[in-house]
Structure 1
Amino acid sequence: MTMYIYLNGELLPKEEAKISPFDHGFLYGMGLFETIRTYGGKPFLLEEHIERLQAGMQEMNIAMTLTVEKAGKIIAALCEKNQLPHSSVRLNISAGEGAMGPQTETFHHPAIFAFQRPVVPSFEMKEKEAVLLQLRRNTPETGFRLKSHHYFNNIAAKREVGSDPAKEGIFLTKEGYVAEGVASNIFWVKAGTLFTPALDTGILNGVTRMFLLKRAQAMQIPVQEGLFRLKELLSADEIFLTNSIQEIAPVHLIGGKCFPGRNGEITKQLYEDYRSWTGQTAFL
């Protein structure tokens, strides 16, 4: 079956989709992306993804406004064309062509492209083993971390962990504070309080992270964001990871110490609440 990609207003077979070798997204990493989960053809938390993407474009001096409505139409067209209602959509903005050398002027003609892969709906949290990385989390290029094409720190960390999808590497900052996973944010529970590293650590403000913080507050679960040492993480009662595709992934092992994984009480509460918002219960 041919897989179609959206590129600058067209749906093309993936073999025909091309960008210029002079695109600064390719030459200098001047590009951004969002990975969006669709459930039954509907993108989840699309407004939050596009808001973060727009903030990144402003930071990179890319002059384009992508509305939630337009992004929704792109994703709907892909879901229909590829017959993939349950999917992961990667939406990219690449700065566009420019002269050789770093460009200080505004990019006025960015490329926009999106592609999919299938995701089978799951109704049970998939546990992870968390692996403490020797490699430290790099600092953001500017005042806050962008979800950008500057991704080698994550790739090098993934090489350290290996290709096993049941393992996730956990970064510490150079100062030794708990940061985030290779492709996830990290949370833990201690004595009924939910903890997660603050944005001051230089982590990505994940869309699922933001959503869960709001939901925890609505559910009257106490929340603390801050700078935490490894010993505080390892003394937790429950640990879990979050991202848009894996949703909530409970940790059952880290640093040789076992944790309750999917049996964690607050982890289960947040997962059931999350499922209700995605509409997954309709698939049961």
Structure 2
Amino acid sequence: MMGTVAVNGEVRRLEDLRLQDFLQSFFFGAGFFETLLLEEGAPMFLERHLARLQASLAAHAGCVHAPPPEVLTAGAVREALRRCLEADASLGPRFTGVGKLVAGDGRLLLSFRPLLPHHERTLGEGCVLDALEDRGYRRDDPSLKHKSVSYLRQYAHFGRGTVFGNEAGELCEAPNGNLFFLVGDAVATPPLAAPCLPGIIRSVLLEEGRLGGLPVVERTVRQAQVEDVRGCVLTNSVSLALAVPRLLGRELPGSHELAERARAVVREYARREA
């Protein structure tokens, strides 16, 4: 994390933040976060991120102390972002990297980090998902539909090439994104009840409705169907769409073309919504 942050719109230094201002979030995970891509100072899909954040806060109004409504508007976040970038020479107005919003304890914290050193290489190579974890996810678990700061279950599997499955033998998501499978006559992504996060890029691709001439649909994908999968894409708000060239031991040569088409769709939507 870089040194300049904003708390409820006020530009601060990271080292000056006080633990007692974030006690519920830190000790109990009573908060939510959003991670978004910044390109030359412009946040991608900011309104969608804020809508999801506000929906999570509303669903947990009895246990998470939400920030004031006025700091959760797109205009307020854009202004806080602008002021942070101008105040820190290591960022600058044309900063390209990652922004993170954390809401809890009555505060909205905005922070920044650079893209990972291997970001561009990963976009080209994709990511292999060869490990299945099917002990932790349970169908219709409502907690997994919100991006809570209680993120250990997912964080523990970062870099391990994990796919989460549920007790019914269905594939759900990856630790760092939603999954889309080229299987049968469609590009299918698991339904939210699987469960999985209502991802921002997931919503864009479902709205588009087609990739490479095939419909994009919500549809249950079972572990037993992996032999029929011809391509797979992992989506998240930083990488947008990553090819999965191997899924649970199966080589998927169609994944790279599918990921390129998905990224093109996402970037066109972002251009229109900017």
- Partner residue in 1 for 2:98: 88
- Superposed CA offset, 1:66-118 (max 9, x none): 11211222222233332262111010011x2xxxxxxxxxxxxx122111012
Q: Distance in 1 between matches of 2:150 and 2:53?
A: 15
> Which secondary structure state, in structure 1, belongs to the residue aligned with residue 110 of structure 2?
strand
Q: Bigger CA drift: 184-193 or 218-227?
A: 218-227
Q: Distance in 1 between matches of 2:77 and 2:149?
A: 20
- Partner residue in 1 for 2:126: 127
Quick one: which amino acid aligns to residue 117 of structure 1? R
Q: Distance in 2 between matches of 1:31 and 1:141?
A: 18
Q: Distance in 2 between matches of 1:210 and 1:137?
A: 24
Shift of 1:144: 6.4
> 1:232–1:135: structure 2 CA closer, same or farther, 3 Å change rule?
closer
Q: Does 1:73 align with 2:79?
A: yes
- Partner residue in 1 for 2:182: 189
Tell me the C-alpha RMSD between the 2 structures: 2.6
- Partner residue in 2 for 1:271: 263
Contact 1:251 1:261 in 2 (8 A): no
Structure 1: which 5+ runs fail to align?
Answer: 97-109, 280-284
Contact 1:5 1:17 in 2 (8 A): no
Runs of 4+ in 1 over 6 A off after TM superposition: none
Shift of 1:136: 3.0
Aligned match of 1:207 in 200, 209, 214?
A: 200
Contact 2:163 2:172 in 1 (8 A): yes
> 1:275–1:224: structure 2 CA closer, same or farther, 3 Å change rule?
closer
Q: Distance in 1 between matches of 2:20 and 2:83?
A: 24
Contact 1:125 1:248 in 2 (8 A): no
TM-score by length of 2: 0.83
Structure 2: which 5+ runs fail to align?
Answer: none
Q: Distance in 2 between matches of 1:156 and 1:218?
A: 32
The aligned length equals 256
Contact 1:21 1:27 in 2 (8 A): no
Q: Distance in 2 between matches of 1:228 and 1:276?
A: 28
How much identity, in percent, do the aligned residues show? 23
